[in-house]
Chains A and B, each alone.
Chain A
Amino acid sequence: MEDAKLDAALKGEEIGNLGLVGLRLTLKLCYANFIAYLVLYVTGMYINIYITGGVTTIGISDPSNMIHMVTAILNFVFTFIVMVVGFLYAMRKVAMFSLGAVVCLIVGTLGGLVFLETGGGRLSGADTLAGGWIMSILFMLALFLSYYATLKIMRAIKVLEATNRI
Protein backbone atom coordinates (compact mmCIF):
# COMPACT_ATOMS: atom_id res chain seq x y z
CA MET A 1 0.00 0.00 0.00
CA GLU A 2 2.81 2.36 1.03
CA ASP A 3 4.70 1.49 -2.15
CA ALA A 4 1.65 2.19 -4.31
CA LYS A 5 1.23 5.66 -2.72
CA LEU A 6 4.88 6.42 -3.25
CA ASP A 7 4.72 5.28 -6.86
CA ALA A 8 1.72 7.56 -7.44
CA ALA A 9 3.59 10.49 -5.88
CA LEU A 10 6.62 9.79 -8.08
CA LYS A 11 4.55 9.71 -11.27
CA GLY A 12 6.10 12.17 -13.72
CA GLU A 13 9.46 12.13 -11.98
CA GLU A 14 12.19 10.76 -14.20
CA ILE A 15 14.34 8.68 -11.87
CA GLY A 16 15.37 5.93 -14.30
CA ASN A 17 16.67 2.55 -13.18
CA LEU A 18 20.28 3.45 -12.53
CA GLY A 19 20.03 3.67 -8.73
CA LEU A 20 21.40 6.25 -6.33
CA VAL A 21 25.04 5.12 -6.47
CA GLY A 22 25.09 5.15 -10.27
CA LEU A 23 23.37 8.54 -10.41
CA ARG A 24 25.92 10.03 -8.01
CA LEU A 25 28.74 8.65 -10.16
CA THR A 26 27.13 10.15 -13.28
CA LEU A 27 26.77 13.48 -11.49
CA LYS A 28 30.51 13.42 -10.75
CA LEU A 29 31.12 12.85 -14.46
CA CYS A 30 28.91 15.87 -15.20
CA TYR A 31 31.03 17.97 -12.82
CA ALA A 32 34.19 16.73 -14.58
CA ASN A 33 32.53 17.71 -17.84
CA PHE A 34 31.97 21.26 -16.57
CA ILE A 35 35.67 21.48 -15.69
CA ALA A 36 36.39 20.40 -19.28
CA TYR A 37 34.00 23.10 -20.55
CA LEU A 38 35.80 25.68 -18.39
CA VAL A 39 39.28 24.67 -19.66
CA LEU A 40 37.91 24.66 -23.21
CA TYR A 41 36.54 28.17 -22.74
CA VAL A 42 39.73 29.53 -21.16
CA THR A 43 42.06 28.02 -23.79
CA GLY A 44 39.69 29.12 -26.57
CA MET A 45 39.65 32.69 -25.25
CA TYR A 46 43.43 32.65 -24.84
CA ILE A 47 43.81 31.61 -28.48
CA ASN A 48 41.22 34.15 -29.59
CA ILE A 49 42.75 37.10 -27.75
CA TYR A 50 46.49 36.41 -27.68
CA ILE A 51 47.15 34.38 -30.83
CA THR A 52 44.58 34.95 -33.56
CA GLY A 53 43.56 38.43 -32.32
CA GLY A 54 46.11 40.20 -34.53
CA VAL A 55 47.60 39.04 -37.78
CA THR A 56 49.04 35.84 -36.29
CA THR A 57 47.49 32.55 -37.41
CA ILE A 58 47.30 29.35 -35.38
CA GLY A 59 48.46 25.92 -36.55
CA ILE A 60 47.20 22.52 -35.43
CA SER A 61 50.43 21.73 -33.53
CA ASP A 62 50.46 24.96 -31.48
CA PRO A 63 50.64 23.90 -27.76
CA SER A 64 47.60 25.99 -26.78
CA ASN A 65 45.62 24.50 -29.68
CA MET A 66 46.69 20.98 -28.66
CA ILE A 67 45.48 21.56 -25.08
CA HIS A 68 42.23 22.97 -26.52
CA MET A 69 41.71 19.94 -28.78
CA VAL A 70 42.56 17.34 -26.11
CA THR A 71 40.10 19.07 -23.75
CA ALA A 72 37.53 19.06 -26.55
CA ILE A 73 38.01 15.27 -26.87
CA LEU A 74 37.44 14.82 -23.10
CA ASN A 75 34.41 17.13 -23.22
CA PHE A 76 32.89 15.21 -26.11
CA VAL A 77 33.51 11.80 -24.52
CA PHE A 78 32.01 12.89 -21.16
CA THR A 79 28.91 14.36 -22.84
CA PHE A 80 28.50 11.25 -24.99
CA ILE A 81 28.76 8.97 -21.92
CA VAL A 82 26.04 10.96 -20.11
CA MET A 83 23.86 10.64 -23.22
CA VAL A 84 24.34 6.85 -23.40
CA VAL A 85 23.66 6.49 -19.66
CA GLY A 86 20.43 8.43 -20.20
CA PHE A 87 19.36 6.11 -23.02
CA LEU A 88 20.41 2.86 -21.30
CA TYR A 89 18.93 3.64 -17.89
CA ALA A 90 15.59 5.16 -18.95
CA MET A 91 16.24 8.85 -18.35
CA ARG A 92 14.81 10.30 -21.53
CA LYS A 93 15.34 13.99 -20.77
CA VAL A 94 18.96 13.46 -19.75
CA ALA A 95 19.49 11.51 -22.98
CA MET A 96 17.80 14.09 -25.20
CA PHE A 97 19.54 17.14 -23.69
CA SER A 98 22.90 15.34 -23.94
CA LEU A 99 22.13 14.25 -27.51
CA GLY A 100 21.56 17.91 -28.38
CA ALA A 101 24.89 18.79 -26.74
CA VAL A 102 26.67 16.00 -28.64
CA VAL A 103 25.27 17.22 -31.98
CA CYS A 104 26.32 20.80 -31.13
CA LEU A 105 29.83 19.63 -30.24
CA ILE A 106 30.18 17.65 -33.49
CA VAL A 107 29.09 20.60 -35.65
CA GLY A 108 31.18 22.99 -33.50
CA THR A 109 34.25 20.78 -34.01
CA LEU A 110 33.68 20.85 -37.77
CA GLY A 111 33.58 24.66 -37.47
CA GLY A 112 36.92 24.51 -35.64
CA LEU A 113 38.42 22.37 -38.42
CA VAL A 114 37.18 24.87 -41.02
CA PHE A 115 38.81 27.64 -38.94
CA LEU A 116 42.16 25.79 -38.91
CA GLU A 117 42.03 24.65 -42.54
CA THR A 118 41.07 28.01 -44.08
CA GLY A 119 43.85 30.00 -42.48
CA GLY A 120 43.54 29.98 -38.70
CA GLY A 121 43.46 33.76 -38.12
CA ARG A 122 40.89 36.56 -37.85
CA LEU A 123 42.16 38.13 -41.05
CA SER A 124 42.12 34.88 -43.00
CA GLY A 125 38.75 35.50 -44.62
CA ALA A 126 35.01 35.03 -44.27
CA ASP A 127 35.13 31.20 -44.15
CA THR A 128 37.59 31.24 -41.25
CA LEU A 129 35.44 33.68 -39.32
CA ALA A 130 32.30 31.67 -40.04
CA GLY A 131 34.05 28.52 -38.77
CA GLY A 132 35.07 30.36 -35.60
CA TRP A 133 31.57 31.72 -34.97
CA ILE A 134 29.95 28.32 -35.51
CA MET A 135 32.42 26.80 -33.05
CA SER A 136 31.78 29.46 -30.37
CA ILE A 137 27.99 29.58 -30.63
CA LEU A 138 27.51 25.83 -30.64
CA PHE A 139 29.93 25.44 -27.73
CA MET A 140 27.73 27.75 -25.65
CA LEU A 141 24.59 25.87 -26.70
CA ALA A 142 26.21 22.55 -25.78
CA LEU A 143 27.13 23.98 -22.37
CA PHE A 144 23.50 24.96 -21.70
CA LEU A 145 22.18 21.58 -22.81
CA SER A 146 24.70 19.73 -20.61
CA TYR A 147 23.66 21.98 -17.73
CA TYR A 148 20.00 20.97 -18.13
CA ALA A 149 20.96 17.28 -18.31
CA THR A 150 22.91 17.71 -15.08
CA LEU A 151 19.91 19.38 -13.42
CA LYS A 152 17.76 16.37 -14.33
CA ILE A 153 20.30 14.00 -12.76
CA MET A 154 20.42 16.16 -9.62
CA ARG A 155 16.62 16.11 -9.45
CA ALA A 156 16.56 12.30 -9.72
CA ILE A 157 19.11 12.05 -6.89
CA LYS A 158 17.03 14.37 -4.67
CA VAL A 159 13.87 12.35 -5.34
CA LEU A 160 15.58 9.04 -4.57
CA GLU A 161 17.11 10.45 -1.39
CA ALA A 162 13.79 11.91 -0.26
CA THR A 163 12.00 8.60 -0.76
CA ASN A 164 14.83 6.49 0.66
CA ARG A 165 15.04 4.43 -2.54
CA ILE A 166 18.50 3.10 -3.36
Chain B
Amino acid sequence: MLGSLQSKAATSTRGTKQLLYLIYLQAISLAVTYVAGIWVAITVHNISFTLPEVLGHGLASSVFVLLTGLVGFIAALQGQRKVSLYNFALFLITVLTGSTGFALLGNPTDATQISITNLSMMASVAIGMPITGFSLANVSRLSKGMAQDFSPVAFMTYIALGALSLTMIAGVAVASTPLYPLAVVTHVGFAALTVALVLGVLVVSTLEGSGGSASNWEPQRVAYSLLGLAAVSVAGGDGVIYLTSGSLSYLVVMAEAAVLVYAFLMIAIGAPYHFDALAGRRR
Protein backbone atom coordinates (compact mmCIF):
# COMPACT_ATOMS: atom_id res chain seq x y z
CA MET B 1 0.00 0.00 0.00
CA LEU B 2 2.81 2.34 1.03
CA GLY B 3 4.77 1.30 -2.06
CA SER B 4 1.80 2.12 -4.27
CA LEU B 5 1.44 5.56 -2.65
CA GLN B 6 5.18 6.25 -3.06
CA SER B 7 4.99 5.18 -6.70
CA LYS B 8 2.04 7.54 -7.27
CA ALA B 9 3.93 10.42 -5.60
CA ALA B 10 7.00 9.74 -7.78
CA THR B 11 4.83 9.69 -10.92
CA SER B 12 3.21 12.95 -9.86
CA THR B 13 6.59 14.67 -9.28
CA ARG B 14 7.87 13.39 -12.63
CA GLY B 15 4.68 14.66 -14.31
CA THR B 16 5.13 18.11 -12.75
CA LYS B 17 8.72 18.29 -13.99
CA GLN B 18 7.62 17.29 -17.50
CA LEU B 19 4.99 20.02 -17.39
CA LEU B 20 7.66 22.49 -16.26
CA TYR B 21 9.88 21.64 -19.25
CA LEU B 22 6.90 22.10 -21.56
CA ILE B 23 6.30 25.58 -20.09
CA TYR B 24 9.98 26.49 -20.66
CA LEU B 25 9.56 25.49 -24.32
CA GLN B 26 6.28 27.42 -24.50
CA ALA B 27 7.96 30.58 -23.15
CA ILE B 28 10.88 30.21 -25.57
CA SER B 29 8.54 29.72 -28.54
CA LEU B 30 6.56 32.81 -27.44
CA ALA B 31 9.74 34.91 -27.39
CA VAL B 32 10.85 33.55 -30.81
CA THR B 33 7.36 34.17 -32.26
CA TYR B 34 7.42 37.76 -31.02
CA VAL B 35 10.91 38.59 -32.35
CA ALA B 36 10.22 36.83 -35.69
CA GLY B 37 6.91 38.71 -35.96
CA ILE B 38 8.59 42.05 -35.37
CA TRP B 39 11.21 41.11 -37.96
CA VAL B 40 8.47 40.29 -40.52
CA ALA B 41 6.56 43.51 -39.75
CA ILE B 42 9.68 45.63 -40.26
CA THR B 43 11.47 43.91 -43.16
CA VAL B 44 8.73 42.34 -45.32
CA HIS B 45 6.61 44.69 -47.42
CA ASN B 46 4.76 42.34 -49.77
CA ILE B 47 3.83 39.48 -47.50
CA SER B 48 3.36 35.94 -48.84
CA PHE B 49 3.39 32.61 -47.01
CA THR B 50 6.25 31.27 -49.14
CA LEU B 51 8.75 33.85 -47.82
CA PRO B 52 11.29 32.35 -45.36
CA GLU B 53 10.64 35.12 -42.78
CA VAL B 54 6.89 34.44 -42.83
CA LEU B 55 7.41 30.67 -42.72
CA GLY B 56 9.74 31.09 -39.72
CA HIS B 57 7.20 33.22 -37.87
CA GLY B 58 4.40 30.79 -38.79
CA LEU B 59 6.40 27.81 -37.57
CA ALA B 60 7.33 29.48 -34.26
CA SER B 61 3.73 30.57 -33.65
CA SER B 62 2.45 27.07 -34.51
CA VAL B 63 4.83 25.57 -31.95
CA PHE B 64 3.60 28.14 -29.41
CA VAL B 65 -0.08 27.27 -30.06
CA LEU B 66 0.69 23.57 -29.87
CA LEU B 67 2.58 23.91 -26.59
CA THR B 68 -0.08 26.18 -25.07
CA GLY B 69 -2.77 23.58 -25.79
CA LEU B 70 -0.52 20.83 -24.47
CA VAL B 71 0.36 22.70 -21.27
CA GLY B 72 -3.35 23.45 -20.69
CA PHE B 73 -4.32 19.79 -21.07
CA ILE B 74 -1.44 18.27 -19.09
CA ALA B 75 -2.12 20.81 -16.30
CA ALA B 76 -5.78 19.71 -16.34
CA LEU B 77 -4.69 16.06 -16.05
CA GLN B 78 -2.55 17.00 -13.02
CA GLY B 79 -5.40 18.93 -11.38
CA GLN B 80 -3.79 22.37 -11.73
CA ARG B 81 -7.01 24.22 -12.43
CA LYS B 82 -5.74 27.80 -12.74
CA VAL B 83 -2.78 26.99 -14.98
CA SER B 84 -5.04 24.85 -17.16
CA LEU B 85 -7.81 27.48 -17.50
CA TYR B 86 -5.42 30.35 -18.27
CA ASN B 87 -3.59 28.30 -20.88
CA PHE B 88 -6.80 27.16 -22.57
CA ALA B 89 -7.95 30.80 -22.74
CA LEU B 90 -4.56 31.74 -24.21
CA PHE B 91 -4.84 28.85 -26.68
CA LEU B 92 -8.23 30.03 -27.98
CA ILE B 93 -7.10 33.67 -28.19
CA THR B 94 -3.93 32.67 -30.07
CA VAL B 95 -5.81 30.50 -32.58
CA LEU B 96 -8.31 33.29 -33.26
CA THR B 97 -5.70 36.04 -33.54
CA GLY B 98 -3.49 33.76 -35.63
CA SER B 99 -6.33 33.44 -38.15
CA THR B 100 -6.07 37.19 -38.85
CA GLY B 101 -2.69 36.29 -40.36
CA PHE B 102 -4.50 34.25 -43.04
CA ALA B 103 -6.63 37.31 -43.84
CA LEU B 104 -3.47 39.42 -44.13
CA LEU B 105 -1.86 36.90 -46.48
CA GLY B 106 -4.91 37.27 -48.74
CA ASN B 107 -4.95 41.11 -48.57
CA PRO B 108 -1.29 42.09 -48.04
CA THR B 109 -1.69 45.75 -49.06
CA ASP B 110 -4.83 46.60 -47.08
CA ALA B 111 -3.79 49.10 -44.34
CA THR B 112 -6.75 48.22 -42.09
CA GLN B 113 -6.01 44.52 -42.36
CA ILE B 114 -2.34 45.16 -41.52
CA SER B 115 -3.34 47.12 -38.39
CA ILE B 116 -5.89 44.48 -37.31
CA THR B 117 -3.37 41.65 -37.77
CA ASN B 118 -0.52 43.44 -36.01
CA LEU B 119 -2.65 44.52 -33.06
CA SER B 120 -4.42 41.20 -32.59
CA MET B 121 -1.24 39.13 -32.87
CA MET B 122 0.57 41.43 -30.47
CA ALA B 123 -2.39 41.18 -28.08
CA SER B 124 -2.00 37.40 -27.96
CA VAL B 125 1.76 37.72 -27.36
CA ALA B 126 1.03 40.26 -24.65
CA ILE B 127 -1.57 38.05 -22.95
CA GLY B 128 0.84 35.13 -23.29
CA MET B 129 3.61 36.81 -21.30
CA PRO B 130 1.92 37.09 -17.88
CA ILE B 131 0.20 33.71 -18.38
CA THR B 132 3.44 31.83 -19.11
CA GLY B 133 5.07 33.74 -16.22
CA PHE B 134 2.32 32.67 -13.84
CA SER B 135 2.36 29.06 -15.10
CA LEU B 136 6.13 28.81 -14.82
CA ALA B 137 6.30 30.30 -11.33
CA ASN B 138 3.42 28.11 -10.09
CA VAL B 139 4.59 24.80 -11.55
CA SER B 140 8.23 25.50 -10.67
CA ARG B 141 7.33 25.96 -7.00
CA LEU B 142 5.08 22.91 -7.07
CA SER B 143 7.84 20.73 -8.53
CA LYS B 144 10.06 21.75 -5.61
CA GLY B 145 7.31 21.09 -3.09
CA MET B 146 6.98 24.75 -2.13
CA ALA B 147 3.81 26.74 -1.46
CA GLN B 148 2.47 29.28 -3.97
CA ASP B 149 4.12 32.68 -3.78
CA PHE B 150 1.68 35.51 -3.02
CA SER B 151 4.32 37.91 -1.71
CA PRO B 152 4.21 41.62 -2.68
CA VAL B 153 7.26 41.10 -4.91
CA ALA B 154 5.63 38.27 -6.86
CA PHE B 155 2.42 40.29 -7.21
CA MET B 156 4.39 43.34 -8.39
CA THR B 157 6.27 41.17 -10.90
CA TYR B 158 3.01 39.88 -12.40
CA ILE B 159 1.79 43.49 -12.75
CA ALA B 160 5.13 44.43 -14.36
CA LEU B 161 4.66 41.59 -16.90
CA GLY B 162 1.14 42.91 -17.61
CA ALA B 163 2.44 46.49 -18.02
CA LEU B 164 5.18 45.24 -20.36
CA SER B 165 2.51 43.48 -22.44
CA LEU B 166 0.39 46.63 -22.70
CA THR B 167 3.51 48.62 -23.67
CA MET B 168 4.03 46.21 -26.58
CA ILE B 169 0.42 46.42 -27.78
CA ALA B 170 0.53 50.24 -27.68
CA GLY B 171 3.91 50.11 -29.46
CA VAL B 172 2.38 48.20 -32.38
CA ALA B 173 -0.53 50.67 -32.56
CA VAL B 174 2.02 53.48 -33.16
CA ALA B 175 2.36 52.20 -36.74
CA SER B 176 -1.33 52.97 -37.39
CA THR B 177 -1.84 56.60 -38.55
CA PRO B 178 -5.27 57.24 -36.94
CA LEU B 179 -4.14 55.76 -33.62
CA TYR B 180 -0.69 57.42 -33.61
CA PRO B 181 -1.12 60.21 -30.96
CA LEU B 182 -3.00 57.99 -28.51
CA ALA B 183 -0.64 55.06 -29.13
CA VAL B 184 2.51 57.10 -28.48
CA VAL B 185 1.15 58.51 -25.21
CA THR B 186 -0.06 55.06 -24.08
CA HIS B 187 3.18 53.34 -25.13
CA VAL B 188 5.38 55.81 -23.23
CA GLY B 189 3.01 55.72 -20.22
CA PHE B 190 3.02 51.94 -19.92
CA ALA B 191 6.77 51.81 -20.56
CA ALA B 192 7.27 54.22 -17.64
CA LEU B 193 4.96 52.08 -15.49
CA THR B 194 6.96 48.96 -16.41
CA VAL B 195 10.22 50.66 -15.43
CA ALA B 196 8.66 51.83 -12.15
CA LEU B 197 7.39 48.32 -11.35
CA VAL B 198 10.68 46.60 -12.19
CA LEU B 199 12.43 49.17 -10.01
CA GLY B 200 9.84 48.42 -7.32
CA VAL B 201 10.56 44.67 -7.57
CA LEU B 202 14.26 45.41 -7.16
CA VAL B 203 13.75 47.71 -4.16
CA VAL B 204 11.28 45.44 -2.35
CA SER B 205 13.44 42.35 -3.03
CA THR B 206 16.44 44.14 -1.53
CA LEU B 207 14.48 45.46 1.46
CA GLU B 208 13.15 41.96 2.25
CA GLY B 209 16.62 41.10 3.49
CA SER B 210 17.30 44.33 5.37
CA GLY B 211 15.11 43.47 8.43
CA GLY B 212 16.22 41.48 11.43
CA SER B 213 15.25 38.21 9.81
CA ALA B 214 17.06 37.49 6.58
CA SER B 215 15.03 34.33 5.97
CA ASN B 216 13.11 35.78 3.02
CA TRP B 217 16.07 37.27 1.23
CA GLU B 218 16.61 35.87 -2.23
CA PRO B 219 19.75 36.99 -4.06
CA GLN B 220 18.38 35.56 -7.31
CA ARG B 221 15.40 37.91 -7.20
CA VAL B 222 17.61 40.96 -6.60
CA ALA B 223 20.06 40.01 -9.35
CA TYR B 224 17.46 39.25 -11.99
CA SER B 225 15.27 42.25 -11.25
CA LEU B 226 18.43 44.35 -11.61
CA LEU B 227 19.08 42.72 -15.00
CA GLY B 228 15.42 43.31 -15.89
CA LEU B 229 15.82 46.98 -15.02
CA ALA B 230 18.93 47.20 -17.20
CA ALA B 231 17.13 45.52 -20.12
CA VAL B 232 14.05 47.76 -19.84
CA SER B 233 16.35 50.81 -19.77
CA VAL B 234 18.09 49.61 -22.95
CA ALA B 235 14.68 49.11 -24.61
CA GLY B 236 13.61 52.64 -23.59
CA GLY B 237 16.91 54.05 -24.89
CA ASP B 238 16.40 52.27 -28.22
CA GLY B 239 12.93 53.80 -28.48
CA VAL B 240 14.35 57.29 -28.00
CA ILE B 241 17.16 56.67 -30.55
CA TYR B 242 14.57 55.37 -33.05
CA LEU B 243 12.54 58.57 -32.64
CA THR B 244 15.57 60.76 -33.29
CA SER B 245 17.34 58.67 -35.97
CA GLY B 246 14.38 56.91 -37.64
CA SER B 247 16.45 53.74 -38.09
CA LEU B 248 14.18 50.66 -37.99
CA SER B 249 16.94 48.42 -36.68
CA TYR B 250 16.53 50.09 -33.28
CA LEU B 251 12.94 48.81 -33.21
CA VAL B 252 14.20 45.23 -33.60
CA VAL B 253 16.71 45.76 -30.77
CA MET B 254 13.92 47.27 -28.65
CA ALA B 255 11.78 44.15 -29.24
CA GLU B 256 14.69 41.88 -28.33
CA ALA B 257 15.41 43.88 -25.16
CA ALA B 258 11.70 43.56 -24.25
CA VAL B 259 12.03 39.78 -24.53
CA LEU B 260 14.98 39.94 -22.13
CA VAL B 261 12.85 41.93 -19.64
CA TYR B 262 10.20 39.20 -19.92
CA ALA B 263 12.80 36.47 -19.33
CA PHE B 264 14.46 38.21 -16.37
CA LEU B 265 11.12 38.92 -14.69
CA MET B 266 10.11 35.28 -15.05
CA ILE B 267 13.37 34.12 -13.51
CA ALA B 268 12.92 36.67 -10.73
CA ILE B 269 9.56 35.18 -9.67
CA GLY B 270 11.00 31.79 -9.01
CA ALA B 271 11.91 29.98 -12.18
CA PRO B 272 14.07 28.29 -13.12
CA TYR B 273 16.96 28.86 -10.69
CA HIS B 274 15.13 29.34 -7.43
CA PHE B 275 17.44 29.89 -4.51
CA ASP B 276 15.73 28.92 -1.28
CA ALA B 277 17.75 30.75 1.40
CA LEU B 278 15.60 29.45 4.25
CA ALA B 279 16.00 25.81 3.23
CA GLY B 280 19.73 26.34 2.75
CA ARG B 281 20.06 27.77 6.27
CA ARG B 282 18.12 24.85 7.76
CA ARG B 283 20.44 22.40 6.10
Contact (A84, B74) CB under 8 Å given A62-B106, A117-B50: yes
Fill in one digit per residue for A49-81: 1 if any B CB lies within 8 Å of its CB, else 0: 000000000011110011001100110111011
CB distance from A55 to the nearest CB of B (A): 19
Tell me if B106 and A59 are in contact (CB < 8 A): yes
Nearest-CB residue, chain B, relative to A73: B95
Q: Which residues of A contact B247 (CB under 8 A)?
A: none
Tell me if B102 and A60 are in contact (CB < 8 A): yes
Bin chain A's interface residue count: 20 to 34
Q: Which of A17-25, A122-130, A136-144, A145-153 lies on the face that meets chain B?
A: A17-25
Nearest-CB residue, chain B, relative to A84: B70
Q: Which residues of B contact A78 (CB under 8 A)?
A: 69
Is A101 interfacial (CB-CB < 8 Å)? no
Q: Which residues of B contact A18 (CB under 8 A)?
A: 77
- If over half of A's interface residues share one DSSP class (helix, strand or loop), that class is named, otherwise mixed; here it is helix
CB distance from B206 to the nearest CB of A (A): 41
Contact (A22, B77) CB under 8 Å given A73-B65, A88-B15, A117-B50: yes
Contact (A69, B105) CB under 8 Å given A17-B11, A25-B77, A80-B66: no
Is A157 interfacial (CB-CB < 8 Å)? no
Contact of A77 among B15, B69, B103, B107 (CB under 8 A): B69
Q: Give CA–CA (A84, B50) in the complex, Å.
A: 30
Tell me if B99 and A69 are in contact (CB < 8 A): yes
Contact (A85, B77) CB under 8 Å given A60-B102, A62-B106, A80-B70: yes
Is B155 interfacial (CB-CB < 8 Å)? no
Contact of B49 among A26, A60, A65, A73 (CB under 8 A): A60
Residues of B within 8 A of A (CB): 11, 15, 18, 49-50, 62, 65-66, 69-70, 73-74, 76-77, 91, 95-96, 98-99, 102-107
A to B CB contacts below 8 Å, 5 in the list = A60-B106, A61-B105, A70-B96, A77-B65, A88-B18
Q: 9 closest A-B pairs (Cβ-Cβ)? A: A61-B106, A77-B69, A22-B77, A60-B105, A61-B103, A81-B73, A59-B106, A70-B99, A60-B106
